[in-house]
Amino acid sequence: MAALAANGAVALRRNISWPVAFVRKIPWTVASSQLREHFVQFGRIRKRIVPFDKEIGFHKGLDWVQFSSEELQNALQ
């Protein structure tokens, strides 16, 4: 996961009430539960969207993580 952030794979969108992180280039070998475990360290997760490809049976390597607080902004600085 740290390698993803180092490659610029994490972006922060400032929403008025809920900060959202967009993560890309996630290896297909990483499970959705592993992603949740990684991001929960930055704050309480309000919502996540992990697009799933039904044809291949894996996620598409993307994750939108919506946090319940501004903790994400502090973590990315």
Query: In this predicted model, which residue has the larger pLDDT, 47 or 17?
Result: 47
Check residue 41 and give its pLDDT: 87
> Can you tell me the distance from the alpha carbon of 74 to that of 77, in angstroms, rounded to the nearest whole number?
5
CB-based contacts of 24, cutoff 8 Å, min separation 6: 4, 9, 61, 62
**Domains of the chain, first to last:** 20-75 (3.30.70.330)
> pLDDT by residue (tens digit) across 24-67?
999 989 998 999 999 888 888 889 999 999 998 899 999 998 88
Query: In this predicted model, which residue has the larger pLDDT, 48 or 7?
Result: 48
